[in-house]
Amino acid sequence: MELIARLDQQLQSLDERSLRRTRRVADTPCSPCVQVDGRPMLAFCSNDYLGLAAHPRLIEALREGATKYGVGSGASHLISGHSRAHAVLEERLAEFMSPHLESARALYFCTGYMANLAMLTALAAGDADAEIFSESLNHASLIDGARLSRATVTVYPHGDTPVLATMLAASTAATKLVVTDSVFSMDGDMAPLPALLALCEQHGAWLVVDDAHGFGTLGANGRGALEHFNLRSQNLVYMGTLGKAAGVGGAFVAAHASVIESIVQRARTYIYTTAAAPALAHALLSSLDIIKGAIGRERRAHLQVLIAQLQQGLTLRRWQRMPSETAIQPLLIGENDETMRLAAALYAQGLWVPGIRPPTVPVGTARLRVTLSAAHTEQDVAQLITALNQLESESWYG
Ligand SMILES: *Cc1c(COP(=O)(O)O)cnc(C)c1O
């Protein structure tokens, strides 16, 4: 009883600080128009940036994959779970990313979280003397990967290339890794990848890029941040997730073949886990075709139109629109309770916009995280703009 009471006390303390998180149950597929607890909602919260999560072609491909390969993989990749579907997907991903990487090879993972742990532990673990330079706003999975790697971790300030340059110059580590999100998941802004890559090449460091929010959405062909900035290097280690713009699930690391082989040999989150369902890998082949093709190009263009529409339509005085050119368009509110009150007020109007609080973001920077998808229409975005402008002016009684 005492053990339970202690937990309940901790949970109550979350309530007191407006930090308790809750889940809503969706009864329909991921889409801008989603039924939640029996109620139709217009949603601005998914990372399904190209609107592929419920695309008929992918649903059909998943069915076909299940017919061809069954449902479960049955084992880890290194035992017997590595199917033809996984192998073909990895070849296609490597080929897709090859304009940006030397001797590119790709490795498919169950989740981006696991891919990040694998990448950092494999690159750093072979070397007692490794140092990871980690951007201060990195995703939790990169932070955890850096801890798990047992490398020395040095955090550099957000976007601050000069400070990073000083840190790299001062480092005596044999293996150096600069690790960053390409598009920051809670801010929407982008890391200065060309400057970071130049520094890494100068100091013989790896540049490890988490492109969870760039893959599929950035670049003319959807190759993500590397295509957006037109980068190519042997020093690049790239992670793209496949459950966001790609609409399915899982993730991949693409890098020089020797990097990938080291991950296969060393990374515990790759070795000691059951391979994802082959049907998912099979469905991802269709997703990749869509991303590369005409539909992908049209949807990326439409997404840009919606981003501009939102930026131009908001007339905010009190809340701050964060400097983002991507589909992640957060509005900085500040306090947790006010943020959650606003999210609730929007929800009452049928608009689903999540409030994001610490520890996901720094204390005092709670925000409404609006994400746009190519599946939204201009009418959807107009409705959001009207509601946000109205809500903000009502809160402006100061
Ligand atoms: C979502 C996300 C991940 C984790 O990917 P999953 O496939 O969801 O596990 C990693 N990094 C960033 C920046 C993300 O936004």
Secondary structure in 3-state letters for the chain = CHHHHHHHHHHHHHHHCCCCCCCCCECCCCCCEEEECCEEEEECCCCCCCCCCCCHHHHHHHHHHHHHHCCCCCCEHHHHHCCHHHHHHHHHHHHHHHHHECCEEEEEECCHHHHHHHHHHHHHHCCCCCEEEEECCCCHHHHHHHHHHCCEEEEECCCCHHHHHHHHHHCCCCCEEEEEECECCCCCCECCHHHHHHHHHHHCCEEEEECCCCCCCCCCCCCCHHHHCCCCECCEEEEEECCCCCCCCCEEEEEEHHHHHHHHHHCHHHHCCECCCHHHHHHHHHHHHHHHCHHHHHHHHHHHHHHHHHHHHCCCCCCEECCCCCCEEEEEEECHHHHHHHHHHHHHCCEECCEECCCCCCCCCEEEEEECCCCCCHHHHHHHHHHHHHHHHHCCCC
Residue-averaged pLDDT of the chain: 96
Q: Give the mean model confidence (pLDDT) for residues 202-221.
A: 98
210 lines ligand 1 (CB under 6 A): yes
- Lowest-confidence range among 94-103, 226-235, 375-384, 387-396? 387-396
Cα of 214 vs centre of ligand 1, distance in Å, is: 11
Indicate whether 127 pLDDT > 90.
Answer: no
In a domain, 170, yes or no: yes
Q: Give the mean model confidence (pLDDT) for residues 61-89.
A: 98
Residues 182 and 193 in one domain: yes
Q: Give the mean model confidence (pLDDT) for residues 91-99.
A: 98
Indicate whether 376 pLDDT > 50.
Answer: yes
113 lines ligand 1 (CB under 6 A): yes
In a domain, 243, yes or no: yes
In a domain, 376, yes or no: yes
Domain final residue pick, 292, 322, 349: 292
Number of domains in the chain: 2
In a domain, 149, yes or no: yes
Residues 42 and 96 in one domain: no
145 lines ligand 1 (CB under 6 A): no
Model confidence at 396, pLDDT cuts 50, 70, 90, reads low
Q: Give the mean model confidence (pLDDT) for residues 138-145.
A: 97
Domain final residue pick, 292, 321, 345: 292
Residues 208 and 305 in one domain: no
Residues 331 and 191 in one domain: no
In a domain, 10, yes or no: no
Residues 336 and 380 in one domain: yes
Residues 219 and 236 in one domain: yes
Residues 230 and 359 in one domain: no
In a domain, 15, yes or no: no
Check residue 398 and give its pLDDT: 42
In a domain, 4, yes or no: no
Ligand 1 atom nearest to 181, measured from its CA: 13
Residues 35 and 135 in one domain: no
Domain final residue pick, 259, 277, 292: 292
pTM of the shown model: 0.96
In a mutational test of the pocket of ligand 1, which residue from 113, 184, 248, 371 has the highest number of ligand atoms less than 8 Å from its CB?
A: 113
Residues 313 and 217 in one domain: no
Check residue 394 and give its pLDDT: 87
| CA-proximal residue: ligand 1, atom 14 (nearest) | 212
> What CATH number corresponds to the domain at position 374?
3.90.1150.10
Residues 273 and 368 in one domain: no
Q: Give the mean model confidence (pLDDT) for residues 132-144.
A: 97
Residues 251 and 117 in one domain: yes
Residues 288 and 370 in one domain: no
> What CATH number corresponds to the domain at position 218?
3.40.640.10
In a mutational test of the pocket of ligand 1, which residue from 120, 179, 185 has the highest number of ligand atoms less than 8 Å from its CB?
A: 185
Ligand 1 atom nearest to 250, measured from its CA: 7
User: For residue range 223-271, what is the model confidence (pLDDT) as tens digits?
Assistant: 999 999 999 999 999 999 999 999 999 999 999 999 999 999 999 999 9
User: For residue range 12-59, what is the model confidence (pLDDT) as tens digits?
Assistant: 999 998 889 889 999 999 999 999 998 999 999 999 999 999 999 999
In a domain, 12, yes or no: no
Owning domain of residue 40: 21-50+294-393
